[in-house]
Amino acid sequence: MRITSICTLVLGILVMVSTVHASQVPVGLGAYTTTLHASGEHAPPSTVYKTANLAGPIPTNKWYSSLLFTKWSQPLFAHPLSYLADKGSFELGVPEKVIIRSPSREENDITYPHNPALVIKPLDFKMKDARADKISDWAVDIVMGDDTDALKVTIVKGSPFSFYQVTRGDIKIRSADTGEIYYRSSNGKVTGIRIHGRHYAIFIPKDAVLEGVPEQGMKLHFPEQARWFTVAALPDSKPETIAEFEKYAYAFVTDTHAEWHYDESSSQVTTTFKVTTDIKEGSDNGTLMGLYPHQWHNNALAPKMLPYEYDTVRGKLKLVGGTQFRTRNTYTGILPFWPGLSEPKQAKKLAAYFKNDLQGSIEATLGHGGTYWQGKGFGRATQLMLIAEQQGDKRKRNALLKAIKARMESWLRSEPGSQKYFYYDSNIGTLIGYPDEFGSATELNDHHFHYGYWISAAAQVALRDPAWAAKEKWGGMVDMLIGDIATTDRAHPMFPYLRNFDAYEGHSWAAGIAPFFDGNNQESSSEALNAWAGLILWGEATGNKQLRDTGIYLYTTEIEAANNYWFDLHHQVFAPEYHNASAGIVWGNKYVHTTWFTEDPREIAGINMLPVTAASLYLGTDPNFVRRNIETIDTEFALYLKSDREQHVSPQTWQDILLEYYALYDPKEALKKWDDKGLVEEGETTSHTYHWIQSLINMGRPDFNVTADTPFYAVFRNDDGKNVYLAYNAGNVKKNVTFSDGKTLMVPAHSLTNSFGSKK
């Protein structure tokens, strides 16, 4: 997966060193532990519902993860269908839109709840639980049975089909509500059923018999040599639609696989989605695949769509036939930092903010708490370090760099008896930092949020001190953090493949075990993107090009998903009844305007903006949306104050985050509105807020129409209509960077260069 894969890297380290404590496993100069340091400390789940076929680390933080951690499952939202492994039966149906009016807020939530249409149950044996049997990139096999027999179900994200195999006996299929048979093929192999105004089809083998009526339960009797059937949700009731679907119904999906490639010269990320099938009858090995908006919109490689689509919580799902398709997206670049402010008045003002930010100790700047709040502290201190460096204050830069390293090392040692350490759980296959926070241990939540801050800070250290980042020093433990959230080796012995990322839906999931009727969820798309930007930086800083490119794939893809499903920039997802400009949390079956911690509309929006870094320019993809989003927030907040006046909410809460965001539309106005003596968000500083907004005043809005043949670049268009170009070179020799509009920059080694000069 890498130049040296994470798997090889970690195992190599374990061979190089010997254990110095019974439960401590050294990794370079750091270590993790295999036992918890204190009795009663929060622990991960101990029971996993899987068959012996599913070996290795457990894939948590997925759309199907409830299946692995409960006896049955919560609803599994695969779009266009949802499924439920219930007590003794298996349900499926097409969710319908439901508008939920908030009793305390002037807004609507949009949900597509599980709505069972068909219920499937073996007649000759009982099912004691549901277990995951095989998992690929966007498909899962579920086995429900006893010690001898089982019903095996294959569900595939984006597919209108689900596939069934049974070891013995007959199957009962009944409608969960009033149902009628509206179609029978002449050979008896296809039955069309209408339920809730939706249309379904059941495809059975030759010589199988399906008899009875849906409401009472139809009995499916199999020939011994073919104990299988397929169910499809149809877009309409036309006979020609059933005929088209039948062509693909007998090719059972056995594997799904996403592969990506980043072309540095063109700054393009191409992803190929491949499906492998097993043909039960006929000769067509293709299947039907439903593409989400982030896959079919503005995709130069989009295949020819069939004339079928479904309304889903993610917008229109459009069908294509075959065994693969490709997407192509533009990687718009990131930078590790921005230039300093050289204009004397601006530099003087920034120096005053910086002095005020460091009035307390650097230790206080680094903060306290568990892995999330410590990560926020690393982000805060790192931003100050970058400002000190770019403003030429090497003494303060060095002091901050030293403190960041020391604090991180104190955790990464995992010394016996320490309250701050990392624990590896071999039952699940996960690395957990203690003190844990927000369910990061008990429910395996938010690891990419937490560790993203750590990885980003470590990358900044590595760019300045490569020796520190060597695997035999502290790089090995940083690679463990990366391995926990972003391993791409599907056979990795310690961590699951891409723990948090959904390769098909294009974004991450935050809940580890997903114990919700609404499926899995993710709140902060921006903190997920912060993690992927950290991978890009760490990969470049350590010479691991494959890791860097993995980060670019994750970063580019998740931006597409965020722009569609959190921000709806293309007006293809949010329902007309949804009155908000953005979503606070995206769930498997809904999008809502709230957070896990507040109803304040500024924080609901801001949680999908922070942390604001040099990798946050994507938030300005559509400046007019930025304006509209802020205006909507202001209107919502006025209503919020009226309904929650007793809470004494401060109008300055997260003012810095929101104005940094607004600066992507109008930086001059953002600076006027900013209260530099007002409240500061926990991961921010006044220095960074001023530096960000003033830099955008100086450089202009980001211009995403121009790319470069390097991973580290940004382009801005100033008020004079001229472009400002920036590029960074982490290498040891100078590099000539060419932009897509013909502009070139010669970038010295270990330097950031802009079209006005260069700065190390």
DSSP string, 434-489: ES--TTTTTS---HHHHHHHHHHHHHHHHHH-TTTTSIIIIIHHHHHHHHHHH---
Q: Which residue has the tokens 């910086």?
A: 354
| Amino acid identity, position 528 | A
Catalytic residue of the set 109, 246, 479, 527: 527
Nearest to 330 by CA among 713, 609, 725, 1: 713
Nearest to 234 by CA among 288, 160, 286: 160
**Residues 294, 709: Cα–Cα separation, whole Å:** 24
Long-range contact list for 304-308, CB < 8 A, 24+ apart? 306/244, 308/235, 308/236, 308/241, 308/244
Region of 599 (left: φ > 0; alpha: ψ -120 to 50; beta: rest) is alpha
Share in percent of the chain as helix, strand, coil (round to 5) = 30, 25, 45
684 is catalytic: no
**Residues 13, 340: Cα–Cα separation, whole Å:** 39
Catalytic residue of the set 244, 425, 437, 446: 446
Three-class secondary structure assignment of 20-84 = CECCEEEECCEEEECCCCCCCCCCCCCCCCECCCCCCCCCCCCCCCHHHHCCCCCCEECCCCEEE
Please state, in angstroms and as integers, the Cα–Cα distance from residue 361 to each residue in 60, 316, 356, 679, following that order.
39, 53, 11, 19
446 is catalytic: yes
Quote the distance between the C-alpha of residue 547 and its chain's center. 17
560 is catalytic: no
DSSP string, 309-323: EEEETTEEEEEEEES
Please tell me the total number of residues recorded for the chain in this structure.
760
Q: Which residue has the tokens 């090009």?
A: 545
Catalytic residue of the set 479, 523, 636, 660: 523
Nearest to 143 by CA among 248, 15, 53, 32: 53
Active-site annotation, residues: 446, 523, 527
